[in-house]
Structure 1
Amino acid sequence: MNLTMLLDMAADGFGDRIVVGSRDLGISAARLQELSVAGAAAIREAGADSVVYLAVNGPAFPVAMFSAARAGVPLVPVNYRLGREQLDALLANHPRALGIADPFQTEALERAGLKVFSPQEWVQNLAASAITELDEDDAVDTDGDSDAPAVVIYTSGTTSAPKGVLLRHENLTSYVFGSVEFASAEETDAALVSVPPYHIAAVANVITNLYAGRRTMVLEQFTPQQWLDTVRREEISNALVVPTMLARIVESDADKSVPSLRGLAYGGAPMPARVIENALQMWPETGFVNAYGLTETSSTIAVLGPDDHRAALESDDESVRARLGSVGQIVPGIELEIRDLEDRVVEPGVTGRICVRGDQVSAEYAGIGRMVDERGFFDTRDKGYVDEEGFLFVGGRVDDTIIRGAENIAPAEIEDVILRHPAVLDVAVVGVPDDEWGQRIEAAVVLRPGVPVDAEELRAFVRDALRSSKTPERIVYWDELPRTETGKLVRRHVVDRLTRQEQAAEV
């Protein structure tokens, strides 16, 4: 099934309902369908085999997504923060694309020889088009085209060159049908999304909110004040944030009243326990959802729901309370195995590699193919374990492991301890090359403003909770850590900066 079937169902079921943008100036489901038809015709007329989207999130994004789907070509949302060399290399993979770019990004697409529209030009041109139906010869087969690529998302490249993840129509529609009930939202419901378009969560939110009948708004530039003001002004019922955003909202001095907010989803990076506990207490009427997933899995594969959050917060049982740090339970349609280094499935409570399979799991890379085993399981490269009740705990990337001597050490374990200190806002623990031990443990810490703490005191704090071999040998204080827009820590940048600081001190 092609993604356009979701839009066509929405147009038939609630065509007059605003589904994109503000209440006053937004786009209805029926109008989005018309724009997608005109967009598909424009893509075909240009002879494009893909649509590259190099702009901030906004109404042009869903229009581009469904236009591309109706034309039978993939949408390629590109990270507008990439450097010139990396961006040029990526665009070289799409020499016949039609481009949509913000004005200051136009040069990059023109260098690649692409025809370019600004987001405003794209939507305005389609709105003025007389085309409302595709010719039968040009219409995409919405029932039989499920195996075609719908979206190509390039991985962030935090540890290596970006790879293009192919998400086929079948993967994305399977995710929607497995997680959302059609037309389940109230007509007044609205979702606020605060992630960039090249993140899988942006794609997933377009299609799931549309299918549910929920209006979607985008906050292009996040600040706590802007976010809170938008929630109140637009009477937002559901919102999506990354942990760093929620932390800034919780820590801000702004008026935090959000009477319309019924649901708040978060994900993309580990959530500090202190932040989520404060948020739960701050908004007792809001249902919190922790969603865990990857680009390769078409977004969410595990969910910690609202009832799980409240039960964990209120429980005196340590094992239940610990679930507030989990990502919840696996969603229907996904199978999970935790495996050791010899590929054996381990028992509950034992940490291993998180491996999954299901129709929504793409695990496919452009030019490489599907990276699954003979049974169809995808190794996420995340470490984790499940408890006796099936709650999944994620412990960081396999590649993040610090090897000190012969001991494998998980940075997340040390970071969790440091984050418990009341003076600490953020932390990154990494392994730095060492002649004697192979790697030594070092930490970069962001402190709360006006709350100093001595590095030796912080080391003692860690030593009291763990053992000396897991205590950072050096702790430095920075104003902020290198994170992506979705909150993921770029550990190699931390290692590079720590190494440069040490070398500079030795001169």
Structure 2
Amino acid sequence: MRDEVHLQAAANPDRTALVDAETDRAWTYADLDDAVAETAGRLAALGVEAGDRVAVLLETRPAFVRLVFAAARLGAVLVPLNARLSREELVQQADAVSPVLVVCGADTDANADALSPPAVSVDDSQQVRSLAGVDPAPVDPVASAWTDTRLLLFTSGTTGAPKAVRLTYGNFGASAVASAFRLGVLPDDRWLCPLSMYHTGGLSVVLRSALYGTTAVLVRTPGFDPAAVRDALGDYDCTGVSLVPTMLDRLLEAGGCPETLRFALVGGAPTPPELAERALDAGVPVCPTYGATETASQVATLRPEQVPVRSDSVGRPLLGTTVTALDEDGEPVEPGETGALAVSGPTVTPGYVSADATTDRFCEYGLLTGDRGWLDDEGFLHVGGRQSDQIVTGGENVHPAEVADVLRDHPDVGDVAVVGVPDDEWGETVGALVVPAPESGRAALSVDALRSVCEGRLAGYKHPRVVAVVDELPRTPSGTVDRAAARDCLVGDT
């Protein structure tokens, strides 16, 4: 298929494709098609060809949108990198996928310049070459197959090592269709995106809107300003919005949403039932959802009218998606029984860049999500915790082993256990239970001291926020760290 903007420019050239809430600028599909063609020409002039990988190191903004469709127009594979990561983490990810080019902005050009491939900036930059200064080359739009890889999106692996997920044109197309059957689509829909586009939740808003021929409204990141989001929802008559639970909570405190809103898709972390009920009471049509990078976003979504009696569920699986709960032997369990969740269907990735990771994460019932849960007699999915010890804070994944490895480099740390601590604002926050090194004092192991060793090595959201010092770590009879007991120690210390 040709990229969605190219197709919509022919079918609906005067329909609004994109709105930037920060500048109030809007693009029709014809306007956006011209902008995408220019960006594709500049990338081609820099040597980007079909099949090449192009990394993008940007927060959500119109330039990111142009790159999404420009890469598709060239048949290149886009690799969004998390702009919040440290330079060391970014080097790891870039090395894992070997892009031919990194596209950055004024706020990310220093980190982009430190990566191996050449970098260009969508802004004026003293650090790297400006993309605007490149004369566009002629481009013939590439018609890609549904099975072709469109993007590589990074998700955290259970060991903390970066894993790149391959997502195809077919994955995103199937996801858009399945989401439309659950949420509905109207010609005048306007879907607000306050999420980072290097995550599937933010990226899917832009891709789906273009496939539907509707409007994507961007609220620029980083950061979340609930008043700005509330105003944008009203100013642009938005009918949909994608949020994480913390954002929903702050939005409710800021005054809720306009009557035009048909759905508020809430995912990235579990939506507490009381938050979903509070949203409904405020007139917000909340849709708790469960999804994954490996499934191009949604797996199951609850409709607003189902929330009053199903607030502990994430809804039934979407059209074409099958969720199976498995026992320890990998066999399906009966309805109502908890098991390891496996997902199959056309939205599921064909695999990771790493063949070893692909082998470990798939079984005859599909993708092993790493989550546990159960399906009731009516097919509603209830997600009941992660199999791994992964922490989810504000919608971002944090792996305890990765943080612990860094903290052990602190000279006063003898041993450490990193766990998620419940947090009213972020869902979970990173906690560290620390044993001092011999001859070291407890005073040297403050939150500030431990966070200092993380600077430049871990993204800020991975830094410990709660610290407790103990003489020894709690352990199970088998000798492994008792993570529940460690969490109890840290909760008692907050």
TM-score where L is the length of structure 2: 0.73
CA distance in 1, matches of 2:389, 2:105: 35
Matched, 1:334 2:321: yes
Amino acid at match of 2:303: G
| Structure 2 SS opposite 1:349 | coil
Distance 1:336 1:64, change over 3 A: same
CA distance in 1, matches of 2:471, 2:57: 38
Q: Which of 264, 289, 292 is the equivalent residue of 1:291?
A: 289
CA distance in 1, matches of 2:332, 2:263: 35
Matched, 1:25 2:25: yes
Matched, 1:39 2:42: no
Q: Which of 11, 14, 23 is the equivalent residue of 1:16?
A: 14
Following superposition, the deviation at residue 326 of structure 1 comes to: 0.8
What's the Cα RMSD here? 3.8
Matched, 1:384 2:373: yes
Amino acid at match of 2:377: E
**Partners of 1:38 and 1:129 within 8 A in 2:** no
| Structure 1 SS opposite 2:294 | helix
Alignment partner, residue 166 of structure 1: 166
Distance 1:159 1:217, change over 3 A: farther
Q: Which of 235, 241, 249 is the equivalent residue of 2:237?
A: 235
CA distance in 2, matches of 1:208, 1:225: 26
**Partners of 1:363 and 1:378 within 8 A in 2:** no
Alignment partner, residue 298 of structure 2: 300
Alignment partner, residue 462 of structure 1: none
Q: Deviations over 1:68-91 (max 9, x none)?
A: 111111111111111221111222
Amino acid at match of 2:278: N
Matched, 1:99 2:102: yes
Q: Which of 63, 66, 73 is the equivalent residue of 1:63?
A: 66
Following superposition, the deviation at residue 226 of structure 1 comes to: 1.7
Q: Percent identity?
A: 27
Alignment partner, residue 210 of structure 1: 210
Following superposition, the deviation at residue 9 of structure 1 comes to: 3.0
Distance 1:168 1:67, change over 3 A: same
Distance 1:61 1:400, change over 3 A: same
Distance 1:499 1:366, change over 3 A: farther
CA distance in 2, matches of 1:210, 1:501: 54
CA distance in 2, matches of 1:368, 1:442: 29
| Structure 1 SS opposite 2:25 | coil
**Partners of 1:184 and 1:213 within 8 A in 2:** no
Following superposition, the deviation at residue 59 of structure 1 comes to: 0.8
| Structure 1 SS opposite 2:337 | coil
Q: Deviations over 1:227-280 (max 9, x none)?
A: 212222222221111001111222x2x444623323211111011122111110
Following superposition, the deviation at residue 503 of structure 1 comes to: 7.4
Q: Which of 289, 304, 325 is the equivalent residue of 2:312?
A: 325
| Structure 2 SS opposite 1:65 | helix
CA distance in 2, matches of 1:82, 1:491: 9
CA distance in 1, matches of 2:231, 2:462: 36
| Structure 2 SS opposite 1:163 | strand
Alignment partner, residue 364 of structure 2: 375
**Partners of 2:42 and 2:136 within 8 A in 1:** no
CA distance in 2, matches of 1:498, 1:89: 28
Alignment partner, residue 388 of structure 2: 399
CA distance in 2, matches of 1:96, 1:232: 40
**Partners of 2:53 and 2:101 within 8 A in 1:** yes
1:358-373 correspondence runs (5 A): 358-362=345-349, 364-368=351-355, 370-371=358-359, 373=362
| Structure 2 SS opposite 1:225 | helix
Following superposition, the deviation at residue 113 of structure 1 comes to: 4.4
Following superposition, the deviation at residue 380 of structure 1 comes to: 0.8
- Range with bigger deviation, 324-333 or 159-168: 159-168
CA distance in 2, matches of 1:165, 1:265: 23
Matched, 1:152 2:152: yes
Following superposition, the deviation at residue 400 of structure 1 comes to: 3.3
Q: Which of 337, 350, 353 is the equivalent residue of 2:337?
A: 350
Distance 1:53 1:336, change over 3 A: same
CA distance in 2, matches of 1:383, 1:491: 24
Alignment partner, residue 249 of structure 1: 251
**Partners of 2:372 and 2:386 within 8 A in 1:** yes
Q: Deviations over 1:405-433 (max 9, x none)?
A: xxxxxx99xxxxxxxxxxxxxxx9x9xx9
Distance 1:148 1:348, change over 3 A: same
Amino acid at match of 1:394: V
Distance 1:333 1:166, change over 3 A: same
Following superposition, the deviation at residue 47 of structure 1 comes to: 2.0
**Partners of 1:206 and 1:216 within 8 A in 2:** yes
Q: Deviations over 1:329-375 (max 9, x none)?
A: 01111122111010111110000011111121005111326346463
**Partners of 2:120 and 2:131 within 8 A in 1:** no
Alignment partner, residue 463 of structure 1: none
Alignment partner, residue 474 of structure 1: none
| Structure 2 SS opposite 1:155 | strand
CA distance in 2, matches of 1:257, 1:94: 40
1:480-491 correspondence runs (5 A): none
Following superposition, the deviation at residue 328 of structure 1 comes to: 0.3
CA distance in 2, matches of 1:127, 1:106: 16
Distance 1:363 1:325, change over 3 A: farther
Q: Deviations over 1:371-422 (max 9, x none)?
A: 4646361111110000110000001211139xxxxxxxxx99xxxxxxxxxx
| Structure 2 SS opposite 1:343 | coil
Q: Deviations over 1:86-125 (max 9, x none)?
A: 1112223455522221213212222224443333469x96
Distance 1:440 1:61, change over 3 A: closer
Following superposition, the deviation at residue 171 of structure 1 comes to: 1.6
CA distance in 2, matches of 1:29, 1:446: 42
Following superposition, the deviation at residue 500 of structure 1 comes to: 4.2
Gaps of 5+ in 2: 393-397, 405-415, 426-446, 452-459, 474-488, 490-494
CA distance in 1, matches of 2:224, 2:281: 23
Following superposition, the deviation at residue 192 of structure 1 comes to: 1.2
**Partners of 2:241 and 2:264 within 8 A in 1:** yes
